[in-house]
Structure formats: C-alpha cells, structure tokens
Amino acid sequence: MQADYVIVGAGSAGCALAYRLSESGASVLVIEHGGTDIGPFIQMPAALSYPMGMSRYDWGFQSEPEPHLGGRRLATPRGKVIGGSSSINGMVYVRGHAEDFNTWSDMGADSWSYANVLPYYKRMESWDSGGHGGDAEWRGKSGPLHVTRGPRENPLFQAFVDAGKQAGYALTDDYNGRQQEGFGPMEQTVYKGRRWSGANAYLRPAIKRYKCEVINAFAEKIIIKDGEAKGVQVSRGGNTEIITANREVIVAASSINSPKLLMLSGIGPAAHLAEHGIDVIADRAGVGQNLQDHLELYLQMASSQPITLYKHWNILSKALIGAQWLFTKTGLGASNQFESAAFVRSKAGIKYPDIQYHFLPMAIRYDGKAPAEGHGFQAHVGPMRSPSRGEITLRSNDPREAPKILFNYMAHEKDWEDFRNCIRLTREIFAQDAFKPFVKHEIQPGSALQSDDELNGFIKEHVESAYHPCGSCKMGSANDPMAVVDKDTKVIGVDRLRVADSSIFPQITNGNLNGPSIMTGEKAADHILGKDLLPASNAEPWINPNWETAQR
C-alpha cells in the first residue's frame, strides 16, 4: 500500500486535506480507525446527542481526575468514525475572531494572521443565510462546506437576542462576518436537512473524483528513517502493515491522538519517551503540552409557557420527528436547535469578545440524558481564553492504550472570576423584559446561590467541557523550544512529516473549533503542495470603538 500522501485521520482537517491534495493530481491514502458515518444517528442534525458517547463512533476518552474540580473526570469525546469529530459534534459553525489569528501570528505562526486565513474561510464555504441577513461579501459562495442558519421559529430564539439588546449589548447580523461581537443568529454545518460533516463536504467528493482512498486501520506509529518520515505502521485485520508515503506523511488525528502518535514514533519530550522505552528521534519538549479547551455552564430557566422542545421529549413525538426527517429531511430533525448565539466582552479593557453563548429552547444536558423539570430553556456560557494549560502524555508504549489527558482546568483564579462573571451577566440577560413572558424561575444554579463561594461551589460541580481540545502540537517559529510544527505545518526536526489539525493551534480560538480545523486542513494543503498562498485580505473587522472604557 502506497500513495504520494498518507494522511492519518479522516476528521475535519484530514478530509479537507484529502480533497485538496488529491485535487492536485496526487494520490492520497487516508487511514481511519473508525467505521462508516452512514445512518440517522449521525446524519440527522437533531440527533446530535446520540453519536457522542457511543463506542462505535467515539473514542470515549476521559480526562484524568482534574485537581481543581475535586477530582472529577470529564468526558473528552473525539470522533472515531469517517468524518471524525465533525460527524459527532454539535454542528455549530464559528470561524473564530480576527484577533485570534492575529495572536497566532504574534506567537510565531507567520502567515496565519486573519488577513491570511480569511481567504481560506471564503474558499471553503458555501454560505446561505436563508434570507436571514448576514455579511455576504465576507463569506464564501462556492466551497465544499455548506453553512446555513436554522429557521429560528421558536419565539425564545428572538427573545434571547432582544434581551441582549435590552441589556445594552450590540446586535450582529453575522458573527462570522465583519462583527463577531453581539447577539444574533447562530450558524450550522447543515445542508438540505443533513449534517454537513467533513466526510460529506470533502471526503466523498474526493473519493469520487480523484485518486483518493480510505483504509480502515489503526495507526501505530510513523516510520522514520534517516530523519525522514517514510510511511505509517498500521494494524489491520490482525496484521501489521506499512503504508508507504512517496512524498509526505500528514498527521491529522486530533489534539488527543496526534501528539500520542508523534510520541509513539519517537518525537516528543526525550525524558518522557525514555521513561516508556521509546527511542528518541526528535526531542521536542512541546509535544503534548499547551493543551487547551473551553469549559461551559448551562444556566437553566423554567418556562412559564409550554413552548419549549420539552413537549417533544416523548417516544411518540421523537418517532414522528424522526419519520418526517427520514422521508423529507425537514422539520425539527433538520436543525441542531442552536439557532441564536452571542459573543460578548466580560469587562471594559478587553479588546474582543471573551464569552460565548449558545442558546437552546430546552433545559437539558448536552449529552441528551437528563431533561430538567419540565418546560425550560438554557444558555450555554463560558469564557473563551482560559490561562490554564494541560498536557497529553503516554500511559505506556502500547499504541492501543489511551493517552493520559490532563486539562488542568480552572488552575487560575482568573478562571473562577470569569465563570462567576458569566453567571451574573447571564442572569442579567434573563431578567430583561424580553424574557418576562417566558421566565418562571431559575432552575440552575438556582437564585439562592449568590455569593462568590456559593457560585464557586456550583462551578466546581457543574462545569463541563465544550469539547474543544486543541493546542497540543503547537505551531510556532523553529527557534521556539515549545513549538512542534513550523508555519508550514512541518514537524520541526523530521523531514516529510507534518501535523495539520486543531492540535497545532498556538492558542484556542473564539467559539467552536470545527470551522478553524477545516480551515487548517485547507490552508495546510497549499503549504504542502508548495502553492502560492491565497492573496491576503485587506478587510477590516469590527472592534468595539469603546472597548477600553465600556463592557458593552
């Protein structure tokens, strides 16, 4: 088995890479351990809580006991399926803020500033606002990735945006356009009622049109000889095989599995590799370090009107929604139900948003397991740029063993302050006139909890991952001892080897990470092919002119 390019992982970035590299005429082989993504649990947007947590589709990782959260282990789902995490995620589409990418550039990722990445976002998108406004000139029209908006028919979606305005926040017609800051419609990777994953957008067309093949196998290590990556050792059907790369090996196996694979292959912190009896090929201290994530809380309100999705929380209604979706790809099943959003700044002196909201017209856990007391609605809220950093380390040198994942969540006093602030700002939004016809009382945290200590207790017990791990193979300048890849996504110290997925983010971006992960695959493909990068944009994103003196 051989190809010009061997890609490990058919996830968000891997699918985009497969499409762009094979489009050039090169042969591409994608190694994916997971199976097919065909079936309603994955393809039906409203079923999003099912594939996450199903061992068939999810690696089922868990963090180590988190020291600042009372030893809680937090679920760390990653897609083990064609499409990777884009096949099990919530389908929320966020590009990230312009300043996120300017920060990357400042951190040594040259040519990854906003001016450089915006053209790739436009190339990858096929954007349709469905007549709901938006910044058309900032968006792409003919890319593989369809981005749409939900119908926003439930009155609670508008109430959330109206409440934001009443509380004095800006409105934004398109948080993926010129102005991220404010309240407005949320976008989703859904097309014609189906989940529009990396597999549907990129991988299937690549397999149909070009020299691209997917093989179902488990990647054990990268074969490196004389400082060059030659291929990938996999196990398939009980046998060990070597898949040869004529040009390059590209690791796109997620922020959990990419550093693990590098370390198993001899690339990582020398002392840690030696501890596990692994020969050191490249001593890179940053492999597995710099791990970041977003945490969030659900603030839940009981509804005084029976208009929430709770009315569909029964077997009969679910069956009807499922049947309508199966036959027509329409109805409630055709949306992820995240249809209103907000990005706000937590205080004056913060240049760009550092808090994100997802609004949901039901009070329920993200995994779909436990609806709260009857009719209710909730805001998912969390800070965007925690100073806490964790690490991925090997448990052993056995490729089959899951790595140790320690996020080190809430390690800084700033994390606690930020979350208390999130709770208080959200309570203020729910107290606006727009919600008066709908709010009965606060379910969670419950209005009795007011002091810093009481809120800290609630945060410690209830904070959950938003499932945005990244940063564990940081991109930076070649002289940065903690950088793992350079600006061209080449692994520093090994030739013909790259990493291109969310693990290379120097710092986490605002919002959900599927969009930036796909963009990373798109842009990395041009670096790999040695093409001229798309011309930089001179578009000027909006920054609140009063950011130094006002919070809103």
Instruction: From the candidates 146, 294, 468, 527, give the one annotated as an active-site residue.
Output: 468
- Kind of pairing between the strands at 75-76 and 145-149: unpaired
The dihedral through the CA atoms of 162, 356, 113, 502 has a sign that is: negative
| Eight-class DSSP state of 451 | S
Give the 3-state DSSP-derived string for 13-28, with helices as H, strands as E and coil as C.
HHHHHHHHHHHCCCCE
301 and 439 in contact (C-beta within 8 Å)? Answer: yes
End-to-end Cα, the chain, rounded Å: 58
522 and 123 in contact (C-beta within 8 Å)? Answer: yes
CB-side neighbour CA atoms (13 Å) of 92? 25
Pairwise CA distance, residues 144 & 205, whole Å: 9
φ/ψ of residue 503, rounded to 5: -65, -20
Per DSSP, the three-state class of 475 is: strand
Per DSSP, the three-state class of 354 is: coil
- Kind of pairing between the strands at 239-251 and 497-499: parallel
Angle 201-76-146 from CA coordinates, rounded to 5°: 15
222 and 232 in contact (C-beta within 8 Å)? Answer: yes
Per DSSP, the three-state class of 41 is: helix
Pairwise CA distance, residues 433 & 237, whole Å: 62
Q: Backbone dihedral region of 479: left (phi > 0), alpha (psi from -120 to 50 degrees) or beta?
A: alpha
Alpha-carbon torsion, ordered 348, 350, 352, 354, to 10 deg: -100
Give the 3-state DSSP-derived string for 232-280, with helices as H, strands as E and coil as C.
EEEEECCEEEEEEEEEEEEECCHHHHHHHHHHHCCEECHHHHHHCCCCC
Task: Give the chain's radius of gyration (CA, Å).
Answer: 22
| Eight-class DSSP state of 371 | B
φ/ψ of residue 24, rounded to 5: -75, -5
468 catalytic per annotation: yes
Q: Which residues are catalytic?
A: 468
